[in-house]
Amino acid sequence: MEWLGLLFITEPPRSGQVILNGAHDPFLVFLAYLVACVGSFATLDMAERVGHAEKIASKRLWRWVGAGCLAGGIWAMHFISMLAFQAPVEIHYQLPITLLSLLFALTASWLAMHTLSHPDLNFWQYLRAAVWIGLGIATMHYVGMAAMRSVATAYYNPAWFVLSIVIAIGASLAALLISSHLRDGTGLYHPLIKFTASLVLGAGIVSMHFTGMAALTLVLPTGSLPMLPAENNHLQLGLTVAIMALLIIGSCISAALADKKLQNKEHDLRRVNALLSQLDQARMSLQQVAHYDALTNLINRRGFNQIFAEKLIEKTNEGGMLAVLFLDIDHFKRINDSLGHDAGDELLKVLANHIKSSVRSHDDVVARFGGDEFCILIGLHDREEARHMAQRIMLKMKDPIELSGRRMVMTTSIGISLFPEDGKTCEELLKNADLALYQSKGSGRNSLHFFSSNLRTRATMELQLEEELRHALREDTGLMIHYQPIYDLKSGQVTKLEALIRWQHPIHGLLTPERFIGIAEANGLIAELDNWVLRKACEDLGELSRHGCEALKIAVNCSPLNLAREELADEIEYALRVAGVAPERLELEVTENALMGNIANTLMLLRQIRALGVSLSIDDFGTGYSSLAYLKRLPLNTLKIDRSFIQDIPKATQDMEIVQAIIVMAHTLHLQVVTEGVETFEQYDFLERQGSDFVQGYLLSRPVPLEELRPVLNEINQRKHPHTVSPLSLARGTTALTSTDLFPKSPGPHAGASIVRPIH
């Protein structure tokens, strides 16, 4: 078989021929291998660039560059290897056929790069491409061999010829698989793996060439003699070709590296831009979170303060008025407690929409400060605009709301402060609006109030009293107890005393409880204050016992807030034990509203107190909302009728009937009855006839300090009848006269009071 003058299957003639054996220059062989390795490395690198290129034009460019590097490397390796071939005959090469072999190398290389442009090929697709690429490389080799011209005839061994093609296909398949594997590789060892793969692929390409050369046999015709080749410049030409090929391939690799760095910089720039965009979004999100309420999407306190400050600067420079409306939803806690916090959140959304729909324009600022507190900032020309705005909001709030299957109506309390009338700073105006809101809530809620200077004065005084009350409790100074006798109508003796706290203030003088109990309850001091009264009363009871008053009992008032504390029973037991007083001599007075507030927990605590032996009394009966069904279950000993039912007797027939009914009911429940506020003989006579067990009031004595108590007790106990008035009682003012001028029916604020409220 002959192709391009090459004999592949034809056997060399056996007679008359001279078979020539060739050799190879080792340096040029090494140089050819080096070029093959560099070309392989460039191919792997270009395949990686094609995979990483983002633009189609860039992919096309690097595909052609890679094809040129691979073709140049293979062709240069073949050319240098042919120059390394040394035969005992003169050999030269035809240029057109040599250039034709380069075209086949370029075709095979382009096919290889085109195949590597598809990242998702399977093994069989790679194998099919490798067959075509290998055939192309083999064609390049044997076309190049066909360019060889000499007097000898070239014959090829078929087995070695086929083996060379198989090696070409195998090297192509290995190149494709290694390139596809290394295309997405990263890490420290990736360049090392690529170098190693280049050496292996270079060895495969060189092996294919020299396998093809091993298949070559040169035969001289019969009668011809070998002719020694003339001097040649194969070494110089090989070096020139190698240097040119390496320079071209190296330039392509450098360009690829530069493009890779440029692309990495573009990636970094895009990442930086993406990070900046994310930072902008995060900043906007943080600003949203920092300045807006997540539940209602209203401005929060921080955002409100920022806008408020800007509005104040504007109004200060240009003139004008601002109004701050502070809103609080009335009894909102009951919604959370009864329907749950989710229902409460839904209600807040509806109410926020009600408020937003009530304002006039976007210039009015609506904010949620937290919980059920809202604040509105509006510009106005006169204060009546603020009043109309508040009234419009209160009216809108009364629209029925469907929530959790229930139809409900909410109300709001509003406090208003005005700029510049009520303040010129954000803090001052907000504080004053809050004070006005506090007044609205204290006036029964569902109302609006403007700030006035007396609110600030009262708030300042309350703050000062709070600090001074803390100091008085901490240092145990200024606080004292006055005792008011409770007269037993059956025995005609004083058998009980009610302990009533007083505060000897260094500036304001003797303060009654209504001046400081509310402050104590609002600032968490009431438990400590109640405990102080309890301990002091037990100590005084022990002191009275040592002076012959072993039968006296003391009644101590208990705040409704203190009644909710589980530690109360332990504190009572401790106070009794330290003072050495029998529990039966202590009576705890609680109001009926406190008893009914949380009946289950209250019932448990009262039973613990009764188990100590302490008596229990329900105070101010008739002013709350007692349930008889619960009242009969409570472990009570005494029922105390409020003075409001006594003060108009005997003129008020209805009050007399109510008192009579209460006494009968109490005795039916096996409770003793104490009637407080007794100030006249007529009231005393009426209660005695109706069967009241005890009386208490100014008819007997005002509350007095412990050091003045024994003479008062002796004077009351020595009377044969309370109608009798002695000179001693007149001098001390401890009993009432028959003259109504001396005993007014409505005592002033200096009258006796319990820990929580005035008691007469």
- Do the domain assignments include residue 688? yes
Based on the domain organization, do 586 and 621 belong to the same domain?
Answer: yes
pLDDT for residue 194: 67
Other CB atoms within a 10 A radius of the CB of residue 317 amount to 8
pLDDT for residue 272: 87
- Do the domain assignments include residue 272? no
Annotate 582-626 with DSSP letters as a single string: -GGGEEEEEEHHHHHHTHHHHHHHHHHHHHTT-EEEEEEETSS--
Q: Environment class of residue 334 by beta-carbon count within 10 Å: exposed (0-12), middle (13-18) or buried (19+)?
A: exposed
Distance CA 524, CA 726 (A): 45
Tokens found for residue 58: 């860039």
Distance CA 641, CA 313 (A): 60
pLDDT for residue 262: 78
Based on the domain organization, do 540 and 636 belong to the same domain?
Answer: yes
Q: Environment class of residue 629 by beta-carbon count within 10 Å: exposed (0-12), middle (13-18) or buried (19+)?
A: exposed
The phi and psi torsions of 511 (rounded to 5 degrees) equal -100, 135
Which of 211, 230, 260 is a domain's end point?
260
Based on the domain organization, do 493 and 428 belong to the same domain?
Answer: no
Residue-number span of the structural domain to which 663 is assigned = 470-732
Average pLDDT over the chain reads 79
Domain CATH number, residue 556:
3.20.20.450
Residue 647: name the closest of 699, 723, 716 by CA.
699
- Do the domain assignments include residue 462? no
Q: How many structural domains comprise the chain?
A: 3
The phi and psi torsions of 231 (rounded to 5 degrees) equal -60, 135
Q: Which residues pair with 501 in a beta bridge?
A: 481
Based on the domain organization, do 41 and 148 belong to the same domain?
Answer: yes
Domain CATH number, residue 386:
3.30.70.270
Q: Give the β-pairing of 615-621 and 638-641.
A: parallel
Distance (Å) of CA 399 to CA 402, 440, 656 = 10, 21, 44
Based on the domain organization, do 494 and 428 belong to the same domain?
Answer: no
Q: Report how far Cα 95 is from the mean position of its chain's Cα atoms.
A: 80
Based on the domain organization, do 560 and 479 belong to the same domain?
Answer: yes
Distance CA 133, CA 138 (A): 9
- The reported pTM is 0.53
Q: Which residues of the chain have pLDDT under 50?
A: 1-5, 16, 723-760
- Do the domain assignments include residue 288? no
Which of 260, 275, 309 is a domain's end point?
260
Residue 736: name the closest of 685, 695, 681 by CA.
681
Based on the domain organization, do 121 and 229 belong to the same domain?
Answer: yes
Based on the domain organization, do 58 and 194 belong to the same domain?
Answer: yes
Distance CA 753, CA 747 (A): 11
Based on the domain organization, do 199 and 327 belong to the same domain?
Answer: no
pLDDT for residue 319: 86
- Do the domain assignments include residue 689? yes
Based on the domain organization, do 495 and 370 belong to the same domain?
Answer: no
- Do the domain assignments include residue 291? no
Give the burial string for 323-332 (b: 16+ CB within 10 Å, else e). Answer: bbbbbbbbeb
- Tell me the pLDDT tens digit for each residue of 667-700: 998 999 999 999 999 999 999 999 999 999 999 9
- Do the domain assignments include residue 375? yes
Residue 708 has, within 13 A of its CA and on its CB side, a CA count of 16
Q: Which residues pair with 497 in a beta bridge?
A: 485, 554
Based on the domain organization, do 397 and 488 belong to the same domain?
Answer: no
Based on the domain organization, do 170 and 225 belong to the same domain?
Answer: yes
Q: Give the β-pairing of 321-329 and 412-419.
A: antiparallel
Which residues contact residue 280 at a Cβ distance below 8 angstroms, ignoring those fewer than 6 apart?
none
- Do the domain assignments include residue 525? yes
